Amino acid sequence: MSDLVVYYTRTNTTKNVASIIKDELDADVLEVIDKKNRQGPIGYLRGGLDAIRSKKTSIEYEDVNFEKYDNIYIGTPVWASKPTPAIMEFISQNNFTNKNIILFATMMSSGGEETVDIMKKLIEDKDGIVVNSFVIATKTDDITDVTLKAIRN
């Protein structure tokens, strides 16, 4: 079985979760890069506003053939109880027909379920099959423990 982990990160937290999944499943990894500067306090605030407003953003990532993967993990930080513009754009640009999708979200404290629900609807609208999802509250959860439990179930 072949797995792909797709993620966007601003502070490396979601990247850390993607790395845990990669190591546990011997998965391939695809980082989505937001071409808009999201660093620092101003980038943080603009990112939250862009997420609230569902603003599009320019992204880049390596070309990948989804056909060779049985499972695709898609991860995002939570911004204002929404997925990041970069992951929203990635989902809009790709075909997930009949692909098994596992969604994950990293958050400081809240908004993870809402974020996953938004991504789930978008993927199911593109005929993808969301088979699982999980949320990690980075302030209180042990990131490794929660991630391993989620992917082993």
Amino acid at 30: L
Considering only 15-19, 42-46, 78-82, which range has the smallest mean pLDDT? 42-46
- Tens digits of residue pLDDT in 45-59: 888 889 989 899 999
The string of DSSP letters for 22-38 reads: HHHHT-EEEE-EESS--
Q: In angstroms, rounded to a whole number, what is the distance separating the alpha carbons of residues 95 and 100?
A: 12
Q: In angstroms, rounded to a whole number, what is the distance separating the alpha carbons of residues 50 and 67?
A: 31
Q: Residue 110 — pLDDT band, cuts 50, 70, 90? A: confident
Quick one: which of 80, 81, 2, 92 has its CA closest to 46? 80
The answer, yes or no, to whether residue 140 has pLDDT greater than 80, is no
Bridge partners of 129, per DSSP, are 100
Is the distance from CB of 6 to CB of 30 less than 8 angstroms?
yes
For the segment 34-43, the average pLDDT, to the nearest whole number, is 90
Query: What burial class does residue 86 get, using C-beta atoms within 10 Å of its C-beta: 0-12 exposed, 13-18 middle, 19+ buried?
Result: buried
Domains identified in the chain, total number? 1
- CATH number where 16 lies: 3.40.50.360
Full domain range(s) for residue 63 = 3-152
Please give the structure tokens belonging to residue 50. 């862009």
Q: In angstroms, rounded to a whole number, what is the distance separating the alpha carbons of residues 97 and 115?
A: 21
